[in-house]
Copies of this chain bind each other. A is one copy, B any other.
Amino acid sequence: MSIAQPYLLFLGDVTDPLAAKTARGIHQWRPEICLGQLRLTGDTVSLGLTDMTLQEAQAQGAKTLVIGTANPGGVIPDSWQSTIMAAAEMGFEIASGMHQRLSKFSPLADMQQQGLTKLHDVRHFDGVLNVGNGKPRQGKRLLTVGTDCSVGKMFSALAIEKSLKESGTSAQFKATGQTGILIEGSGISIDAVVADFISGAVEAISPDFADHDWDIIEGQGSLFNPSFAGVSLGLLHGAQADALVLCHEVGRPHIRNLPHAQLPSIEQTIEANLQAARLTNPDAKLVGICLNTSAISIEEAETLCQEWTTLYQVPVTDPVRFGVQHITDHLRHSL
C-alpha cells in the first residue's frame, strides 16, 4: 500500500473538531505533503490550510484526496459522495480510514478497474502476506508498546522519528494503524490482517535494511488488553525490536472501554514486553517511557518524569510537553 503524495485533505462537512483528528495528525506530522483542505460548508472545521477546489489542488500537483475525518459508524455520508466521485474521475487517488470500504461504491470500484483512480482503504488489508518466521533481520528497530490502547504509541513513534532526524540520525516511521498509514503514505493496519499473519505483516512492513539507521515501528494495543493482546504480541514478535519505548497515560482508571479490566503496573508492562520481545530479539531493551500527563499539572508532570527516570533507569518524558530528546539521545549513545 503506497499512497501518492502530496495530499488534498477532505474535511467533508464535519463541525466537531475531534472528528478531524486524522486530518490534523497528517498536517501536524507531514505539513509538507498537505497542499490544502477541501471543506463542503463554511461551518466545517478548518485546519488553517488553504481552502482549495479539486481543480485548484490538481493544478498545484495534489495526487490524493484523503478523507481525513471520522464519522459515526465509519460510513461515508451521501453528502460527500459527489466530491469523492468527481475527484476519482479527475484522476485523484482516494485514501480513507473509514470502516466502510471505498470499493463498496460500485462507481468508484469501476473507475479503479478502468485505471482512472486508485482506492486506499487503509483500515483494511487485502494483500498477500507470508507467516512470520522470526529470523534475525538487518537494521535497528524501535517499537512503541503500552499499558493500553490509545496511550500515545503513534505520537511517540512519530516524535522519536522526528527527533532522530533533526539530530542527523536517519529514521523511518513504520505505520501499523490507519492514521499512521495516511501520515506516512504506506504501512499495514495490523489489526486488520488475518490472525495467522500478524507477525508476518510486521516483518513485511520492516524488512532487512541497510540504507538508514532506524525503523521506528508504531505499536498497537497492549499485552494486557483482553480485547487486542494477540495483535500486540504478534506485533512485538514481528518487530524484532532492539529498543522498546513504553507509553502510558497517567491517571487512566482502567483498560479503555472495559471498566472491569485493571491497568497493568509499569513494572509488569516492562517485564512482560521485554520477555516477549526477547523471543525474536534476545537483546531487546527498554530505552524510554513516554507519558501522557494531560491529567496533571506541568509541575507535577516534571516531578513525575524525574522520579520515574530514577526509578526505571531510562529517560521518562511527556512527548507533548517536554519532547523526546532525552530518549533519542539515550538511544544514540546506548545502541
Interface residues of A (CB under 8 A from B): 131-136, 190-200, 223-224, 226-235, 237-238, 258, 260-261, 272, 275-276, 279-280
Q: A199-B226, A230-B237, A279-B226 are in contact. Are A260 and B134 (CB under 8 A)?
A: yes
Q: Which residues of B contact A276 (CB under 8 A)?
A: 223, 229
Distance in angstroms between the alpha carbons of A192 and B260 in the assembled complex: 28
Q: A224-B279, A279-B224 are in contact. Are A230 and B195 (CB under 8 A)?
A: yes
Other A-B contacts than A196-B227, A230-B230, 10 sampled, CB-CB below 8 A, are A131-B228, A134-B226, A134-B258, A134-B261, A190-B195, A191-B194, A194-B195, A198-B231, A199-B226, A223-B233
Q: Which residues of B contact A135 (CB under 8 A)?
A: 258, 260
Query: Are A191 and B199 neighbours in the complex by a CB distance under 8 Å?
Result: no
Distance in angstroms between the alpha carbons of A195 and B200 in the assembled complex: 12
Query: Are B196 and A192 neighbours in the complex by a CB distance under 8 Å?
Result: yes
Query: Are B258 and A227 neighbours in the complex by a CB distance under 8 Å?
Result: no
Query: Are A280 and B226 neighbours in the complex by a CB distance under 8 Å?
Result: yes
Q: List 27 A-B contacts (CB under 8 A).
A: A134-B227, A134-B258, A134-B260, A135-B258, A136-B260, A191-B195, A192-B194, A192-B195, A192-B196, A193-B195, A195-B195, A195-B231, A196-B227, A196-B228, A196-B231, A198-B230, A199-B227, A199-B229, A223-B233, A223-B276, A229-B233, A229-B279, A230-B231, A230-B234, A230-B235, A230-B237, A233-B233
Distance in angstroms between the alpha carbons of A265 and B212 in the assembled complex: 37
Q: Which residues of B contact A132 (CB under 8 A)?
A: 226-227
Closest 10 CB pairs of A and B: A230-B234, A134-B226, A198-B230, A230-B230, A191-B196, A131-B227, A233-B233, A230-B233, A132-B227, A226-B237
Distance in angstroms between the alpha carbons of A227 and B224 in the assembled complex: 20
Residue in B closest to A194 when the chains form the complex, CB atoms: B192
Q: Which residues of B contact A136 (CB under 8 A)?
A: 260
Q: Which residues of B contact A258 (CB under 8 A)?
A: 133-135
Distance in angstroms between the alpha carbons of A192 and B231 in the assembled complex: 13
Distance in angstroms between the alpha carbons of A261 and B230 in the assembled complex: 20
Distance in angstroms between the alpha carbons of A226 and B136 in the assembled complex: 11
